[in-house]
Chains A and B, each alone.
Chain A
């Protein structure tokens, strides 16, 4: 009690942090226990699975050449990449107006919109996927709604479209939040300036506002793309084995066949794609941060 009441007085001291006692190297030792845990139970297992892709059942690139020639893996990989691309594009198109609206409404409405967009974060993963299962099933609300507006017999359960819909919903926060924080820093007077120079409102928006929101778009887009590649539960429950995505194939190879070599090869491909996108993003994020500093919105 006493400590909490003294806090405001103490925080009122104007000096900023980082100026206190000189950081001691000893504090770095605090990282060791967690680092050891991750090393043994995270990095070692991942290194092992990659290693096994080159050694089981035979040493060499056998698992990788098999992926190219089995006639399924390449198709699955392409389907996964296309699905992730479609999900990322759809999420961007849906999130853009929402994030834009968040910058234009009052504080109270913005609070409500923020809570709503964070809802998928909070909702239990299994509960969420179960809900989509109910909504998308044969005879479910989505089929009946589509039937009522003239599209008969469209059942989303068991299709890539059904999987994509559920992915878009859960990925929306990862798109809306970066978009919003980017848009918040855009000076709206630039639009008025464009207007006073004779540009119609839509053109001022397309030529001035949209380009300024590109950094937010890119960070949201890449995040959604990467995370979508790795989805397992959603395609397993809502998709079909005939149109499986890469993570389902990895899971099946291990749980049905105990084929760690083959699963490891596919997993390594997935890891490589993820890391490549991350690398590209970090290169870009560096330059966009510099851009933000130049514009004065850091």
Chain B
């Protein structure tokens, strides 16, 4: 809001960006987009190696991906685990967000920080720690083990997304609804749910993507019987040199982008309405 007057004071002297700054921004932009951009053409390569840029083009790695029982099984495993994680983490995360924003007690700040801890702890320590107890509890290589471990990692993202939408929630609306004769349930479903829904949706999307993309814990929990897609991708670089990973990578980039974009689009749609 204070922008226009500042610009006027600044005058033309500092208006645009100098060529040095432009070059720096362009190079940084290149560094930021390079890996994402490289993955897509690579997936249409006709060669048997990781050669880049590809000299010949084909769809063979997509055929190999969708034709391979191993890759399809990994994809299916990841999607199933991801959906379960998204459901469980969203339910728990919404409850946490409601609890954090609607109650005040001593130690609230500490509880909040502890709930966010999985986000900042070194991934390898978490992975090795969970692996250690899962061996004893025989949860290694089980779907339950994967879902529980990924839910722990996804929870902070849901809590953040839902808390953000709750913090903008004006509770006088609940009172207004009550004075107009609405019951607590009606208020919850007609006022609270629609207002919080976008935050919940983006929490759900974040949880799904967190699980879909998680490698470190999954590498330790994997057994020959149960492998997620990122684990199969990891093995295809380190053990097999299998260019099918190029097709898998492109699909991952497209799917995660779409999943994360949907809540944004829904939100924009609502705002313009």
* B53 with A141: CB separation less than 8 A: yes
Contact A127 B115 (CB under 8 A): no
Asked if A7 and B195 make an inter-chain contact with CB atoms under 8 angstroms apart, the answer reads: yes
Q: Is the CB of B29 within 8 A of A116?
A: yes
- In this complex, what residue of B is CB-closest to A226? B120
A35 to chain B, nearest CB (A): 7
Closest B residue by C-beta to A278: B120
Within the complex, which residue of B24, B35, B212, B257 is in contact with A132, where a contact is CB–CB below 8 Å? B35
Residues of B in contact (CB 8 Å), total 98
Q: Is B270 an interface residue (CB 8 A)?
A: yes
Given A17-B169, A49-B128, does the pair A271, B155 have CB atoms closer than 8 Å?
Answer: no
B252 x A127 contact (CB < 8 A): yes
Question: DSSP majority for the A interface?
Answer: helix
A149 contacts chain B at the CB level, 8 A cutoff: no
**Given contacts A48-B132, A135-B35, are A15 and B170 in contact (CB under 8 A)?**
yes
Q: Among B22, B111, B131, B151, which residue has its beta carbon within 8 angstroms of that of A35?
A: B111
Stretch at the interface among B55-63, B65-73, B242-250: B242-250
**Cβ contact within 8 Å between A230 and B125:** yes
A122 at the interface (CB under 8 A from B): yes
Tell whether A237 pairs with B237 under 8 Å between CB atoms, given A10-B173, A13-B173. yes
Give the residues in chain A near B237, CB-CB below 8 Å: 130, 133, 237
Establish whether residues A4 and B270, one from each chain, have CB atoms under 8 Å apart when the complex forms. yes
B133 A44 Cβ-Cβ under 8 A = yes
A230/B122 in contact, CB under 8 A: yes
Min C-beta distance of A235 to chain B, whole Å? 10
Q: Is the CB of A46 within 8 A of B96?
A: no
Contact A192–B9 (Cβ < 8 Å): yes
Query: Do the beta carbons of A23 and B103 come within 8 Å of each other?
Result: yes
Q: Interface readout for A100-123 with B: 1 if CB under 8 Å, 0 if not?
A: 110011000000010011011011
Is A189 an interface residue, CB under 8 A from the partner? yes
Chain B residues whose CB sits within 8 angstroms of the CB of A43 once the complex forms:
114, 117
Partner of A3, one of B24, B191, B219, B230: B191
Interface residues of B in 202-251 (CB under 8 A from A): 212-213, 215-216, 219-220, 230, 233-234, 237-238, 245-246, 248-250
Residues of A within 8 A of B170 (CB): 10-11, 13, 15-17, 20
Question: Do A169 and B128 have beta carbons less than 8 Å apart?
Answer: no
Distance A100 CA – B29 CA, assembled complex (angstroms): 14
How far apart are B238's CB and chain A's nearest CB, in angstroms? 7
Count of chain A to chain B residue pairs whose CB atoms are closer than 8 Å in the complex? 290
Question: Which residues of chain A (164-196) have a CB below 8 Å from chain B?
Answer: 166, 168-169, 172, 187-189, 191-192
Task: Tell me if B133 and A126 are in contact (CB < 8 A).
Answer: no
Contact of A20 with B132 in the complex, beta carbons under 8 Å: no
Question: Does B25 sit within 8 A of A, measured CB to CB?
Answer: yes
The interface stretch among A59-67, A211-219, A248-256, A286-294 is A248-256
Q: Per a CB cutoff under 8 Å, which of A10, A21, A31, A94 touches B31?
A: A94
Does residue B124 face the partner (Cβ distance < 8 Å to A)? yes
CB within 8 Å of A: which residues of B? Answer: 6, 9-10, 14, 16-17, 21-22, 24-25, 28-29, 31-36, 38-39, 42, 50-53, 92-93, 95-96, 98-100, 102-105, 111, 114-115, 117-118, 120-133, 148-149, 151-152, 155, 159, 167-176, 190-191, 194-195, 212-213, 215-216, 219-220, 230, 233-234, 237-238, 245-246, 248-250, 252-253, 256-257, 260, 270, 273
**New A-B pairs, 12, CB < 8 Å, besides A101-B25, A134-B42, A260-B128:** A27-B99, A37-B155, A42-B118, A49-B129, A101-B24, A104-B14, A124-B253, A127-B35, A133-B237, A230-B125, A233-B234, A254-B131
